[in-house]
Amino acid sequence: MKVIVCKDYQEVSEKSAEIVAQVMKDKPNAVLGLATGSTPEGMYAKLVEMNRKGEIDFSDITTVNLDEYFPISPDNDQSYRYFMNKNLFDRVNIDKSRTNVPNGAANDGEAEAARYEAFVRSLGGADIQVLGIGRNGHIAFNEPDVELVPVTHVTGLTPDTIDANARFFASADEVPTHALTMGMGTILSAKKIIILANGKGKHNAVMKMLKGTVTTMCPASFLNLHDDVTLVVDEECYNG
């Protein structure tokens, strides 16, 4: 795994945006695999800026997001669809019909997971997949466990995650109990992967991943099976 150590979050955002921008310049109809969460927000802001300056063009780009709560309405301001529209899609010249997030409003979650998996595979996987990492080493909603599901699937949220998210919803009943998520196999089908991390809180997870071995108890460690992964990390996270 290649490692780029940056002085701070700002530099993590700039470096990762540059890597994504290069893929877009090399292939104007590239498929971008995208993540939500606080880590890539700065990268999205940078990509918006580059688009406004005319440095990058989204008009032929297709996107596939990693995950979405289930069930959730795409209009809910906690949905990952809403996050993506707000942080990127509504701010660049992308064709919205080519932006893909698992459908949190689908009637049948399993059918939606199978549809999404087939769709990502039909694209040949993402040209670049952007990832964040959880403090426990999770990737998308693939949480540490004795077994992992390789393909897109419905997964239950842990009571901890439901508790942690309750504050963002009008009432506890509204917190989704499940999520639709790409599996590690779907993620590894990307041609190139960048994983972003900043802050001390992610240090242990990042070190576990950088050890180079593979364990289901640290889903991020599966990235060691791929030969084009770059970690973009700030000094605080890297040095711990």
Residues with a catalytic annotation lie at 67, 136, 138, 143
Give alpha helix (H) positions in 96-202. 109-122, 159-166, 184-188
Backbone angles phi, psi at 41, to 5 degrees: -55, -45
One of 38, 59, 73, 177 touching ligand F6R (CB under 6 A): 38
76 CB neighbour count, 10 Å cutoff? 19
Q: Based on the shown chain and the rule CB under 6 A, indicate whether residue 120 belongs to the binding site for ligand F6R.
A: no
One of 31, 32, 35, 101 touching ligand F6R (CB under 6 A): 35
Give least dist CB 36 to ligand F6R, A.
4
Give alpha helix (H) positions in 152-202. 159-166, 184-188
From 18-26, 33-41, 56-64, 225-233, span contacting ligand F6R (CB under 6 A)? 33-41
Give least dist CB 10 to ligand F6R, A.
16
Q: Based on the shown chain and the rule CB under 6 A, indicate whether residue 36 belongs to the binding site for ligand F6R.
A: yes
Contact 191, 123 (CB under 8 A): no
Give the Å distances, CA to CA, from 209 to 8, 54, 85: 20, 36, 31
Q: Is 71 or 199 the residue whose CB approaches ligand F6R more closely?
A: 199
Element (H, E) at 34: strand 31-34
How far is Cα 196 from Cα 198, in angstroms, rounded to an integer?
A: 7
Q: Based on the shown chain and the rule CB under 6 A, indicate whether residue 125 belongs to the binding site for ligand F6R.
A: no
Q: Based on the shown chain and the rule CB under 6 A, indicate whether residue 37 belongs to the binding site for ligand F6R.
A: yes
| Planar angle of CA 194, 199, 204, nearest 5 degrees | 80
Q: Is 57 or 85 the residue whose CB approaches ligand F6R more closely?
A: 85
One of 67, 117, 234, 236 touching ligand F6R (CB under 6 A): 67
Q: Is 62 or 129 the residue whose CB approaches ligand F6R more closely?
A: 129
Tell me the pairing of strands 99-100 and 193-197: unpaired
From 30-38, 85-93, 154-162, 226-234, span contacting ligand F6R (CB under 6 A)? 30-38
Helix (H, G, I), strand (E, B) or coil at 118: helix
Q: Based on the shown chain and the rule CB under 6 A, indicate whether residue 39 belongs to the binding site for ligand F6R.
A: yes
Q: Based on the shown chain and the rule CB under 6 A, indicate whether residue 42 belongs to the binding site for ligand F6R.
A: no
Residue span 126-165 as binding mask against ligand F6R, x where in contact by CB under 6 A, dash where not = ------xxx---xxx-------------------------
Amino acid at site 12: V
Helix (H, G, I), strand (E, B) or coil at 239: helix
**What is the binding site for ligand F6R (CB under 6 A)?**
35-39, 66-67, 132-134, 138-140
